[in-house]
Chains A and B, each alone.
Chain A
């Protein structure tokens, strides 16, 4: 009985903490707006706290009200929230494609590094270096390369360039985390499990599927979560820098341009980006649920 209580408490805990976090954020936003003067705080020449005018920081209820209104003044214009949701769906889809591609690529790199020790020494520095290339710089390049690609009837779409950039950011934590996981049996319990598999006379791949891959799950899951966050950020930023239409990135830029006239509008796609992040986290949580058998640590 008490166990069950504990169990449901455990599951409810994060949800309650999340709701409390959102409430705290709402309270902080409105409190800041109420307490700090419109022009922010200026010390000498320097503004140390930002302005709190309705243009810079609209009230949360103004944002909500704006979301309910039509996108433009055109007679058949759909409501802003619907357009935002559609954009969020688009961005989530591209992020998901980028995430899957990045995870697959990251796992392949990790397997290669786990299998061939020289490959590890040769590849790992490049994996790390790959992440120091600024995203803004490579986005237009990828778009241009993609445009030149033509294989039979296959036509490279602009959204694929964005997905490639998302996957580029997603693969990094996966390859590093999976490598740590795949090599964890070398140190676990003095390598006893590896000795056992050797005693069974089986080869590297059998040992990989039966021991290294399942052992990697506790290391892999945080990496998958990080990869999801990276894929979403990568998608939004790449949408901006390649000018791709349909997603939240472009919307944030477009609505931002008219912010002085319609300050609450751009906050809808920003909220949409938060939603996309939550959805991505939720999807990874589903993956984690499917892999829960492999998450049990060893007791004693």
Chain B
């Protein structure tokens, strides 16, 4: 089953007296099971808005969004996806471990309760230990968030997003606030996590290199009004292959070729939008 199907989605924000902001118009997007799709474009082009529509944190003013064949609202209430933002948003009064366990402690909607109930304390502890090992923070389980660096906090946020073993991961510039070194390390980590979990990912970024390195498919967007201008495949191998190749992949000519292709698409998208009369 496809993870996400967005068809003809638009979002207009009320702007008080004037006509309002057209953040998105007529967006179509399909994310297959286990696929990693990046949304890339200049800031203000509606990437976050599109991600929030998929997450049902916001509703489209036209068109529709389906997640695993359900409405976005049903999928949210069933905790079908995990989500991470640019800000880690950890709860400062909880330990790292307790932060990771948070989504497992909170009751989802009625559907969730009916199906499997909540994981008990022992199950939660086992799961958080597993996830902290996955993001390399086992030794920090009892630390508090303020004792961690920005990169470590972001890894906790990713572990938390994975807590309920979602088959869909939504990420809005999760590495945007990190330095280049940490960023590349976390990109490799994300590839490894993908290889282990097989989850589909919608990944928002404004870094061309990051989008190409991580994605099966890069969706290029342009601003005013936000829309999809190109969809490019990135056939650079499975996530496990990529993670194994690491720096080798970042220096591969095939990788550079895709980077150029995305860059061209971005710039032609800009040019196209410049031609639109205002």
Contact of B34 with A by CB under 8 A = no
Interface set, chain B 135-185, CB cutoff 8 A to A: 144-147, 149-150, 153
Assess the B92–A297 pair: CB atoms within 8 A: yes
Q: Which residue of B lies closest to A192 (CB)?
A: B89
Q: Which residues of A contact B208 (CB under 8 A)?
A: none
Q: Which residues of B contact A200 (CB under 8 A)?
A: 79, 102-103, 106, 108
CA distance A210 to B103 in the complex (A): 11
- From the candidates A201, A210, A294, name the one contacting B108 in the complex (CB within 8 A): A201
Assess the A206–B107 pair: CB atoms within 8 A: yes
Contact of A299 with B by CB under 8 A = yes
Q: Which residue of A lies closest to B95 (CB)?
A: A293
- From the candidates B55, B89, B106, name the one contacting A210 in the complex (CB within 8 A): B106
Bin chain A's interface residue count: 20 to 34
Q: Distance in Å from the Cβ of B90 to the closest Cβ of chain A?
A: 8
CA distance A139 to B141 in the complex (A): 55
Interface set, chain A 177-227, CB cutoff 8 A to B: 189-190, 192-193, 195-202, 206, 210-211, 214, 217
Bin chain B's interface residue count: 20 to 34
Assess the A300–B93 pair: CB atoms within 8 A: no
Assess the A202–B106 pair: CB atoms within 8 A: yes
Contact of A76 with B by CB under 8 A = no
Contact of A296 with B by CB under 8 A = yes
Contact of B189 with A by CB under 8 A = no
CA distance A296 to B99 in the complex (A): 15
Contact of B109 with A by CB under 8 A = yes
Assess the A298–B83 pair: CB atoms within 8 A: no
- From the candidates A192, A198, A211, A299, name the one contacting B87 in the complex (CB within 8 A): A192
Assess the A296–B106 pair: CB atoms within 8 A: no
User: Which of B79, B89, B102, B109 is most buried by chain A, counting CB atoms within 10 A of its CB?
Assistant: B89
- From the candidates B83, B92, B106, name the one contacting A206 in the complex (CB within 8 A): B106
Q: A299-B146, A300-B149 are in contact. List 4 more A-B contacts (CB 8 A).
A: A197-B106, A217-B93, A296-B92, A298-B90
Task: Name B's A-contacting residues (CB within 8 A).
Answer: 55, 57, 76-79, 81, 83, 85, 87, 89-93, 102-103, 106-109, 112, 144-147, 149-150, 153
Task: Name A's B-contacting residues (CB within 8 A).
Answer: 189-190, 192-193, 195-202, 206, 210-211, 214, 217, 293-294, 296-300
Q: Which 7 A-B pairs have the closest CB atoms?
A: A192-B89, A299-B146, A201-B77, A189-B87, A192-B87, A201-B108, A294-B93
